[in-house]
Structure 1
Amino acid sequence: MHQYIHVQHQVILDLIDSKEFQRLRRIKQLGTASLTFHGAEHSRFSHSLGVYEISRRICDIFHRNYSVEKIGTGGWDDGERLITLCAALLHDVGHGPYSHTFEHIFQTNHEALTVQIICSPKTEIYQILNRVEAGFPEKVASVIQKKYPNPQVIQMISSQIDADRMDYLLRDAYFTGTEYGTFDLTRILQVIRPYQGGITFGMNGMHAVEDYIVSRYQMYVQVYFHPTSRAMEVILEHLLQRAKEVYLENKEIFSNHSPLLIPFLENHFTMDDYLRLDDGVLNTYFNHWLDESDSLLKDLSYRFLNRKPLKSCRFDKQNQEKLLQTMRSLVEKTGFNPTYYTAVHSSFDLPYDFYRPESNKQRTQIELQEKDGTLVELSKVSQLVEALAGQGQGDQRFYFPKEMVDFSLQDNYDLFSETYKQFNAHIHNGALIE
C-alpha cells in the first residue's frame, strides 16, 4: 500500500506493540464485506498504520513547505507532530468485532471506547502516552473527539478528505479488487497545505480532489453498500439478537462455551471485557452454536459461517410498506420466522456535503486555495462535485430467505407452491426490484 512505513518516534513503536493496538490485527476492516469480496481480509491494524503513515507524510510536507517560521500565521507548528501521529495511529483502537453490527445490538460506541482506552490508566496505551508528559493521553483523545484547539490537527485525521478516508479508500479498493476506488494520493499530497482554519488544497490540484470524491462515491455504491454484504450483516445482526433472547431462557449455554459474551448479553460490561473480544472469538462461538438445540440460533449460525446470504429487493418504503407486510406474511406461511428471516435494511451516505452549522454531524467542507490565498469551496469550481454535493446515495432493501425464490432449495415446494408463486409474483411483476 504505502511501501515502507517510517516509524520515527519510540512512542509510536511502543503504541504499535501495545496489547490494545495488537488486538486490531484480529478485527477485519470491512467486516462482512469479506464474504462478498474474498480478498478483503485486511485488518483495522493495517489500516491504522496506513493512517499514521499518510499523516506522517503530511506533517513532513507541512514542516518542509508551510511551517509557521516560513509563512507565519496559519503555518504548521511541528510541535504538533507527535500528538497528530498518535491520534492518527489510535483513531480506530476502540473498534469491536464486526464493528457496526455489534455496536447496534449491544449498544456500544467505538468512538467513546477509543477515548476510554486512551484515557484509562489501566491500559498499556495510556501508560505509554503518559510517559510523554502528564495529560498527553487526554490531549490525544481530544483530537479524536474533535475538541483539540488546532483545527489543522483535527482535519488531518477527521474531515471530508483526511488521512483516515484516503487510506481506507485506497486500501479497500486494493483488497476488494475494485479499480474505481483508486485516486491520485501523490497529487493530493503535493497540493495539500495548512491555513489558519485547518487544511486546504491548492486550486491546481482541484481535479485530484474531485477524483477522490468520485472514488469515494463509487466505493460506497459498489462495495460498502453491496447487497450481499448487507445480507450477511442482517444475518449476523439477527444471530446476535437471537443469542440475547436465548440467554434469557437458558444462561447455561453461554456459560459452557461462550463466556466472554455474557457481559454483553447482560448489558453490563467493562473495558477489559470489551478488549477480549475480536472476530475470531465470535466466530468460535458461532461454531459452538451449530450444536445447540435452539433451531434459530443453530440455523442462523450455519448461514453466517457458511455464507448463505438472504436475497433482497429494492423498494420505496413510503409507498410499499403494505406490500412488504404481505411478503412477510408469505415468508411466515412457509415456516420462516419473519423476525429473523426478513429485514428492511437502509444504507445511505453523502459523497460530499457542505458545511451545515445547524446539523448534529457537521462536515468540514473542502476548501481550495487560489494563488492569492483566497479560499473557494470545492463545489463552487467543480460541476461534478456540485452534482454530488448534498445528494444521499444508497438504497432501501427488503431481505428474505433465498428459498422463497430458488426452487432448488425448497424441500416443501408442493406444500406451499401457491405461497411461493404469490411471493415471486410480487417481485417479477415489478412491484419490487431485485
Structure 2
Amino acid sequence: ILLHDIGHGPFSHALEQTIVEGISHEDISSLFMDRLNDEFDGRLNMAIDIFKDTYPKKFLHQLVSSQLDMDRMDYLMRDSFFTGVSEGVISFDRIIKMLNIKDDQIVVEEKGIYSIEKFLVARRLMYWQVYLHKTVIAAEQLLAKILERARELALNGEELFATPALSYFLNNNINIKTFIHSKPDLDTFASLDDTDILSAIKVWCGHDDFILSMLCKNLINRNLYRVEISNEAPSAERVNELVLHAMDKYGVNEDEASYFVFTDSITNKAYKVGDGSIKILMKDGSVKDITLASDHSNLEPLAKTVKKYILCYIKGL
C-alpha cells in the first residue's frame, strides 16, 4: 500500500505522460518495486504479488487497489484537511471496522452501509470541488504546456537550462520499451522532483523563446488560463475566433497558437458497478452490490460517468 504510488513523477498526475510518454505511474511503481526487491534479496515477493494481483488471497489486492482501497480513504481525508474542504471527510475508522471477507473478497457489513454511501458522495464532491476545480485545471494545463513547449524546443536543438535529470528527459525521446529495460532511465527518473521543474521554469521566464517565456511568467505570477467548463463542446467558431485573436495579438502561427487556446474534456465517475465493485454483506449472509443494497436513490447517478468539456485560453483574448 505504501509503495503502490512510488512511480509518480514531479507534480503527480499533472505531468504524467508529459515527462515519459506511454507509461503510467503504476508501471513505473512496478519497476521500482522490482528493483527494490532485487536489493532486498526477494523480501518484497509477497508485496509485489499482492500489488500485481497474483497472490492467492485476492482480497489483499483489493486493499491496495479497488473502489474501496486504503489510498482512496487516505487521500480524501488528507486532501480535505489541507484544502479546508469538509466534504471529503469520511468515517474511515468505522469503514475499516466494518470490513470483512466473504469468498475471498472484501465485503462491508450491512451496518456500515451508510458510511460507504457517505464515502462515495464525498469522493464525487471532492472531484468537482477540488481535483477538477477550474483553477486546478488551469494550473495543471499551464504546467503541462510549459513542459510540452520545452521538449519541443529541446528536441529541435535549442539549449535550455535544466538540472541533469530534467535535461535527460527533455532531450531524449523515451518510450515504454526503452524505459522498462534501461537502468539509467529509471535511476534518472527517481532523482526528479518538483524542484527540478520549478527551478527550470523560473529560469525559462527569461528565455528568448516568446511562448516558453510567457507561459513560465504566467505560471510564476499565477496568471493562469481562463477556463470555461460546459456540458457541451465549445463551438468551432468560438475556438477559431480565439485562435485568430491569439495569432494576431502574439504574432504566432496556428500551431503555436495551440499553447494559448485549446480544448479538452474531463470526466467524473464516483463508482463503477461490476468488477471490483463495493460489496455489502447482508445480515442473511448474502452479498449485494452497494447500489442494490442501499435505499439511497442518489447512489445510482454516482455510477454514471459525467463528462464535461473545457475551453482554455490566455486571459485578455
In structure 2, what is the equivalent of residue 230 of structure 1? 137
Correspondence list, 1:154-193, <5 A: 154-193=61-100
CA drift at 1:267: 2.1
Instruction: Find the partner of 1:338 among 252, 257, 274.
Output: 257
TM, length-normalised to structure 1: 0.65
Structure 2: where are the runs of 5+ without partners? Answer: 180-184
Confirm whether residue 347 of structure 1 aligns to residue 270 of structure 2.
no
1:270-419 equivalences under 5 Å are: 270-316=185-231, 320-335=235-250, 337-355=256-274, 363-382=275-294, 383-404=296-317
Q: Which amino acid aligns with 2:173?
A: N
Say if 2:69 is the partner of 1:150.
no
Report the Cα distance in structure 2 between the residues aligned to 1:300 and 1:258, rounded to whole angstroms: 19
CA distance in 1, matches of 2:202, 2:216: 7
Partner of 1:402, secondary structure, is: coil
Relative to structure 1, the CA distance from residue 203 to residue 316 in structure 2 (aligned partners, 3 Å threshold; closer, same or farther) is: closer
**2:239 and 2:44 mapped to 1: Cα distance?**
50
SS at match of 2:10: coil
Partner SS, residue 372 of structure 1 = coil
Task: Give me the CA root mean square deviation.
Answer: 2.0
Kept after mapping to 2: 8 A contact 1:379/1:386: yes
1:267 counterpart (173, 176, 188)? 173
1:92 equivalent in alignment to 2:92: no
State the 1:175 CA deviation: 0.5
8 Å CA contact retained: 2:231, 2:307 = no
Alignment-mate amino acid for residue 301 of structure 2:
L
Q: Equivalent residues in 2 for 1:126-137 (5 A)? A: 126-128=38-40, 130=41, 134=42, 136-137=43-44
The alpha-carbon distance between structure 1 residues 384 and 170, as it changes in their structure 2 partners (threshold 3 A), is farther
Residue 319 of structure 1, CA deviation:
6.9
The one-letter code matched in structure 2 to 1:260 is: A
Cα distance in 2, alignment partners of residues 141 and 322 from structure 1:
51
Moved over 6 A (4+): none
Distance 1:402 1:96 in 2: 29
For the Cα contact (< 8 Å) 2:243–2:257, is it kept in 1? yes
Q: Which of 101, 108, 113 is equivalent to 1:201?
A: 108
User: What is the aligned-residue identity percentage?
Assistant: 27
- Residue type of the partner of 1:302? K
Q: Give the TM-score normalised by the residue count of structure 2.
A: 0.88
Deviation at 1:345, TM superposition (A): 2.6
Aligned match of 2:27 in 97, 112, 134? Answer: 112
Distance 2:211 2:51 in 1: 40
Give CA-to-partner distance per residue, 1:278-328, whole Å, 9 cap, x none: 001111111121222111111111112222111122245557234322332
| Higher fraction of helix | 1
Q: Which residue of 1 aligns with 2:182?
A: none
In the TM superposition, 1:2-13 aligns within 5 A as: none
Taking the aligned partners of 1:141 and 1:321, their CA distance within structure 2 comes to 48
Higher relative contact order (CA 8 A, sep 6+): 2
Could you tell me how far apart the structure 2 residues matched to 1:306 and 1:143 are?
45
Unaligned runs of 5+ in 1: 1-87, 356-362, 405-434
Give the CA deviation at 1:343: 2.0
Q: Aligned AA for 1:393? A: V
Conserved 8 A contact 1:203-1:369: yes
1:149 Cα deviation (Å)?
Answer: 2.8
